[in-house]
Structure 1
Amino acid sequence: MVGRYIEEQLSSRPARVPTKVAAEYLGVSPRTLEDWRAKKMGPNYVRVGHKVRYEPSELEAFISKVSISSR
């Protein structure tokens, strides 16, 4: 029962993306994302072991946060 529930929840969520993909999406270099992480700025991320991953929703939230209105 619990296993099926977890599988359903995970399958309905967009996959977390690695730094390279997140950087391409944001239009910056992977090195820029690494620098931002070191400076505690940029989009929120998840570290699992040595791997860094970004939730697509966090990338969208970051874009919304740094967007400048022309009004």
Structure 2
Amino acid sequence: MMTETLTCELLSVSARTLQAWRLRGGGPPFVKIGKSVRYKRRDITAWLSANTLTSTSQRG
């Protein structure tokens, strides 16, 4: 299980961005353990694969 800080470093995004994704949806799946948020490395890898594009016209 990866902390929010480690996940931010891995994805090269700020903590605020990761928090916004959790709030709105659309970010990588996460696990709530009490008040702590954790990420599974395999979920991050799958999320990155699912969001990998080959051109800007693929979305929308």
- The aligned length equals 55
Q: Which amino acid aligns with 1:51?
A: S
Q: How many angstroms does 1:30 deviate by?
A: 1.1
Q: Structure 1 unaligned runs (5+)?
A: 1-15
Q: Taking structure 2 as the reference length, what is the TM-score of the superposition? A: 0.85
1:35 and 2:35 correspond: no
Q: Which amino acid aligns with 2:38?
A: R
Q: Taking structure 1 as the reference length, what is the TM-score of the superposition? A: 0.73
1:60 and 2:48 correspond: no
Identity of aligned residues (%): 35
Question: Where do 4+ consecutive residues of structure 1 move more than 6 Å?
Answer: none
Q: Structure 2 unaligned runs (5+)?
A: 56-60
* Greater Rg over alpha carbons, structure: 1
Once residues 11 and 4 of structure 2 are traced to their aligned partners in structure 1, the CA distance between those partners, rounded to angstroms, is 10
Q: How many angstroms does 1:40 deviate by?
A: 1.5
Superposed CA RMSD in Å reads: 0.9
Q: Which amino acid aligns with 1:48?
A: I
